[in-house]
Structure 1
Amino acid sequence: MKINISSNKQPATDRLSVGQNKRAMTDAYQASNTPSSSQVDLSTTARQLQNLQSSEHDLNIEKIQSIKDAIASGKLEIDTSRIADSLIASARELLK
């Protein structure tokens, strides 16, 4: 009895060309579906954070100068009870 094995497999050279064709088709598809320009839409929170990073929000120059002038002239008044109340309120918030 003779066993005949029929092979439906493609030769290695054909498989290689099929693989190359698939790759070429994939590359062509990706190239045609890639946008030419990119856009990013920031959320409201992201825009607020971006605005806070600008240097204009770093220091209040006028307030700093008025404090310097008050110190220099001896007219700076410090409300210690207000500072203490703020520290207590801050500590309460942290303990929640």
Structure 2
Amino acid sequence: MSDMRAENGRFQAGNPGGPGRPPKGPPSRYLVAMEETITDSEWKRLVRVTYERALKGDHRAREWLAKYLVVGGGRSNRAGQLAPNNQEPCDA
């Protein structure tokens, strides 16, 4: 057996273990409810306003954009639809 495990297969006392379970994202029912409530044009406007606030120095807007759009935390199907510079929506 490995040095980390006892003869019965269990980890020995003092073993730090692994990093644990990764945090869960938001429940899918919340994402579905959000997508059913907010139209595509409202969603694009929300992201556009947040983007403009981030450009003006709003750190919370930058954090939201980075978390939601770049990193993908809770990413919905709409995340890739906003095109830069008011162009037509991007194909996701």
TM-score with structure 1 length normalisation? 0.29
Q: Quick check: which has more Rg, 1 or 2?
A: 1
TM-score with structure 2 length normalisation? 0.30
